[in-house]
Structure 1
Amino acid sequence: MFLFLGAIVAGFAILVWSADKFVEGAASTAKHLGMPSLLIGILIVGFGTSAPEMVVSAIAAMEGNPGLALGNAIGSNIVNIALILGVTAIVAPITVNSKIVRKEIPLLLLIVLFSGYLLFDNTLTFVEGVVLLVGFFSLIAWSIYAAIKGKGDALESEMDDELLEHEMSLKAGVLWLIIGLVLLIASSRLLVWGAVGVATEFGVSDLIIGLTIVALGTSLPELAASVIAARKGEHDIAIGNVVGSNMFNILAVIGIAVVIAPMNNIPFEVLQRDWIIMLLLTIALLFMAYGFRNKEGKITRLEGFILVICYVAYNTYLGMTLTGNI
């Protein structure tokens, strides 16, 4: 038992560090190769912070633990909005200025709704996995188009400042990219092994482990990135991290896992409980970010507290179902 727990702790620690270095190296390399700052912000920072979820879920699927893969993706989306944006807004209220980020949030809602449609029959087939991946590549194409058309967007200036602060040579960028990727894969394998071991020891489904422990751990890079960005006043990076990550989790993370190992007999609770929570949080994010009724698009400290309470309540509910109190 202690060996499994140690593997989880060590896996998380290396995962968070390597994910950060991977994103920094990738962003620096892309900048040296001439990629626009806005595109780096949308693709590499927005999607790159979900690299842990992708690697963990892919490994889990390959090792015959599809529940862990699915739980990780959905659970991470719940963590991203409820906990990460909640904590970030408490630290520094988040104002949404970027037009691109404001366009991405309704798109995220559509992606969430589509994932619910796929989950409705409690299966995710190989073909559906391919469809999700096609959607992901379409999203990349749209992101490139948006970056080209979005010159002068608020996100661009924030990314310029961020890249300047973490400036490094091309050689260093490539080196950190490779080191980060290698350690990311190694730590993910360690984390999956530990998580499956704990689930087996306690008789808990790998789905629940994925929704809770693994989802929280793989989302730590987003938490660190968003809080730091918000404290610097880089609000659009803070919320862009979460929105980009959530789209990536559904389209790429679930897509890759399902292509590797199609999922049959998915527990109905995934749609009835976890997907519903993800949907409601996404709708809440839409309302907060758009600021309807002449309200500024902003996530206030009060709303941040409410989001964190929602996260605690959700995990408490999961815990009560495990103990048989519900």
Structure 2
Amino acid sequence: MNKKNLIGIGIGILIITIALLGMDSIIKFSDERLLKIFNSPVTGILVLITGILLMVLFSSKAVEHSAILASALGISPLMIGLVLVSLGTDLPEIVNSIVSSSLGHADIDIGDSMGSVLTQLTLVFGLLPFLGRSFRVNYCIFCQL
């Protein structure tokens, strides 16, 4: 088996470690007011669990219907992912950026954008080998466009 471009459990552990170290440093330097968003830990945990459950439910539906749409339109699933799915995941960030910038908090806007990219590059790619199996990175994926 060719091991070139293979991302497995070892790389996944390394990437998750980098993500957790980054999150730890963010929490250490956060403003105390930001850490007290909810009045009780129980409320925070319930909101978190509800959010995760809704995300799992609607994410699977979004992927399922995106694949159906790509097939029906005869478009590459890669294009659907690049345009529709990525737009859907970025809309909350766009709204957050507009609101925070209009309130004079451009630093929140910048932090949100940078945090999103770093989370996707570290935590998401780090978890992939654990959720499925090792996968190959196709460096010429944009050649298909």
Question: TM bucket by the smaller chain?
Answer: 0.7 to 0.9
Change over 3 Å in CA distance of 1:124–1:189 after alignment to 2 = farther
Residues 188-203 of structure 1 correspond to what in structure 2 (within 5 A)? 188-203=59-74
> Secondary structure of 1:233's partner?
coil
The structure showing larger relative contact order (alpha-carbon pairs under 8 Å, at least 6 residues apart) is 2
Contact 1:136–1:248 (CA under 8 A) maintained in structure 2: no
Equivalent pairs, count:
141
Residues 303-318 of structure 1 correspond to what in structure 2 (within 5 A)? none
Question: Which of 218, 241, 258 is matched with 2:112 structurally?
Answer: 241
Question: TM-score by structure 2 length?
Answer: 0.76
Q: Which residue does 1:266 correspond to in 2?
A: 138
Aligned-partner Cα distance in 1 for 2:87–2:14: 27
Question: Which of 125, 130, 142 is matched with 1:254 structurally?
Answer: 125
Residues 64-213 of structure 1 correspond to what in structure 2 (within 5 A)? 124-127=5-8, 130-145=10-25, 147-148=27-28, 150=29, 156-157=30-31, 160=33, 167-213=38-84
Structure with more of its chain in helix, by fraction: 1
Q: Which residue does 1:97 correspond to in 2?
A: none
Q: Which residue does 2:95 correspond to in 1?
A: 224
Contact 2:18–2:122 (CA under 8 A) maintained in structure 1: no
Change over 3 Å in CA distance of 1:143–1:263 after alignment to 2 = closer
Aligned-partner Cα distance in 2 for 1:174–1:131: 30
Contact 1:130–1:255 (CA under 8 A) maintained in structure 2: no
Change over 3 Å in CA distance of 1:220–1:124 after alignment to 2 = farther
Residue identity (%): 24
Aligned-partner Cα distance in 2 for 1:193–1:146: 35
Aligned-partner Cα distance in 2 for 1:248–1:210: 18
> Secondary structure of 1:181's partner?
helix
Aligned-partner Cα distance in 1 for 2:98–2:128: 29
> Secondary structure of 1:219's partner?
helix
> Secondary structure of 1:186's partner?
helix
Aligned-partner Cα distance in 2 for 1:251–1:267: 18
1:124 is displaced (CA, Å) by: 4.5
